[in-house]
């Protein structure tokens, strides 16, 4: 089969590529964007600052956080309001575990893409 595919394609540097995310009933739940947002919330302690760092609107960041918190069994982002410092946000242990799982999943996906690209050559 690989030989036939190589004969079908013109000379070139073909590569198998793709993107990876987790869905729930057709709705995106967890992927590179939410992972980055969670990591930046963990670093800054703020959804607003995390969104600014990503060049994302505060509303979009809140929508992502609400989506994750709604779909997960336990909230991924915990917020507090008021206080001397004006509140803040932290990510849950479940969010940290999902980030780690997603990293591992992406590594397996990267290996798959490399193997399929090698089959084209």
Q: For residue 102, what are the contacts with CB-CB under 8 A and spacing of at least 6?
A: 22, 30, 31, 35
Tell me the per-residue pLDDT of 80-99, one tens digit each, with 9 for 90 and over.
886 666 679 999 999 999 99
pLDDT for the residue numbered 14: 81
The pLDDT value given to residue 121: 77
pTM for this entry: 0.84
Residue 117 has pLDDT above 60, yes or no: yes
Q: What is the mean pLDDT of residues 58-75?
A: 96
Residue for token pair 């069994």: 73
pLDDT over 60 at 31, yes or no? yes
Q: What are the chain's domains?
A: 27-120 (1.10.10.10)
How sure is the predictor about 5, in pLDDT bands with cuts at 50, 70 and 90?
low
């Amino acid at each position: 089969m690989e030989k036939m595919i190589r004969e079908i394609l013109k000379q070139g540097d073909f590569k198998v590529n793709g993107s990876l995310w987790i869905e729930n009933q057709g709705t995106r739940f967890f992927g590179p964007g939410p992972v980055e947002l969670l990591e930046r919330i963990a670093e800054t302690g703020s959804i607003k600052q995390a969104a600014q760092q990503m060049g994302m609107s505060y509303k979009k960041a809140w929508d992502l956080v609400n989506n994750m918190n709604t779909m997960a069994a336990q909230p991924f982002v915990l917020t507090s309001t008021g206080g001397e410092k004006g509140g803040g946000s932290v990510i849950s242990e479940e969010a940290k575990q999902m980030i780690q799982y997603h990293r591992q999943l992406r590594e397996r996906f990267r290996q798959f893409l490399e193997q399929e690209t090698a089959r084209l050559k």
